[in-house]
Structure 1
Amino acid sequence: MSVVTDEIRATATELYHGDKVCQDKTKHLLTEVGLPNGLLPLEDIEECGYVKDTGFVWLKQKKKKEHKFEKVNRLASYANEVTAFVEKSKIKKLTGVKTKELMMWVNLSEIYVDDPPTGKITFKAPSGLYRTFPVSAFQIEEDQKLEVKEV
């Protein structure tokens, strides 16, 4: 069952449909609030929305996705629906995101950056467990494009 109701959609400052526009808007919002733009590497996003007054954000993708952050050797899982409240350098009340620690999946509830944009990023679980990494491990360079090999 979706957390995002028609009432929430009606209060959205921004509401978009389609993968390309949602990818762009997600990266832009993350950058705008001082978080690395590669933090939510979702695919086939169907809908994204933002309620500016409360900071509530949601992303809906066709199916859940796992992603390995190579620079820190960490696996993350993103549910069909990811929700959170964003503010300057912080994501709170995060739902739909897990990370693999040892051999079990741990829900994440908060992400924050100290001394953006070059500082450290911390991921917290509801249990109080946390991990800290360099912000650069989750940043995508905007000029990174797929290289076309000539034959």
Structure 2
Amino acid sequence: MVSSSSSLLLFLFHFLIFFSSSNSLPDSVADSPTQPSNGTTVYELLPKYGLPSGLLPDSVTSYSLSDSGDFVVELQKPCYLQFEYLVYYDRRITGTLMYGGIKNLKGIEVKKFFLWLNVDEIMVDLPPSDFIYFHVGWITKKLDISQFRRVRSCGDGVCMSVLQVPEGNSMSILQVPAQTRKIPMLFAE
């Protein structure tokens, strides 16, 4: 059960967020990476909502959060991160932040087999456990939350792999992840 002092702190936090964020950020705020006028980074904000700070890459340039929980996160450029699955982050990520999760998520995709699928929701257990849940359409994937605790650097989607050839020589292979927009064309051919 939540104590009255915890409820008061949560109310004050939302009150501060409401008065410190707006739809149009001043140039000085937009230019300072990840910090709105209250000085809180997006990486500090996520744990206040029960989420791990490593959900987003280290390339966040700005974010805004409304009193209703709607948010916009801007990255320097689209990029990829490797967790248990390869994850694609669009330059602009939107959704609704609430305690224990994100709903109406746009701008994050996960690669499953050869397909890129939109992540619709991200949820954690309340009370907190060692798991985080990604909702992709009607599929829910339970993952170990520890891989999302650390903020990571984002890649541009080209990764170098080394293939060992039986004779002991090695050969480099470039791997470029396909994007979702190209999948319908493959099915039409």
Cα deviation 1:97-131 (Å, max 9, x = unaligned): 00000111000010000145433110001x21121
Residues 1:95 and 2:106 aligned together: yes
1:68-79 alignment to 2 at 5 Å?
68-69=82-83, 73-79=84-90
Query: Is the CA contact 1:89–1:116 (under 8 Å) kept in the aligned structure 2?
Result: no
Residues 1:133 and 2:112 aligned together: no
SS in 1 for 2:55: coil
Residues 1:107 and 2:121 aligned together: no
The number of aligned residues is 124
Q: In structure 1, which of residues 55, 59, 73 is the aligned counterpart of residue 73 of structure 2?
A: 59
Task: Normalising by structure 1, report the TM-score.
Answer: 0.73
Query: Is the CA contact 1:97–1:108 (under 8 Å) kept in the aligned structure 2?
Result: yes
Between the aligned partners of 2:143 and 2:127, the Cα distance in structure 1 is 13
Task: Normalising by structure 2, report the TM-score.
Answer: 0.59
Query: Is the CA contact 1:118–1:136 (under 8 Å) kept in the aligned structure 2?
Result: no
Between the aligned partners of 2:34 and 2:61, the Cα distance in structure 1 is 9
Tell me which residue corresponds to 2:57: 41
Which structure has the bigger radius of gyration? 2
Tell me which residue corresponds to 1:84: 95
Residues 1:27 and 2:38 aligned together: no
Query: Is the CA contact 1:58–1:81 (under 8 Å) kept in the aligned structure 2?
Result: yes
Consecutive unaligned residues of structure 1, counting only runs of 5 or more, are 1-7, 142-151
Q: Which has the higher helix share?
A: 2
Between the aligned partners of 2:97 and 2:116, the Cα distance in structure 1 is 23
Between the aligned partners of 2:150 and 2:75, the Cα distance in structure 1 is 20
SS in 2 for 1:118: coil
Consecutive unaligned residues of structure 2, counting only runs of 5 or more, are 1-21, 152-189
Query: Is the CA contact 1:60–1:82 (under 8 Å) kept in the aligned structure 2?
Result: yes
SS in 2 for 1:9: coil
1:95, CA displacement in angstroms?
A: 0.4
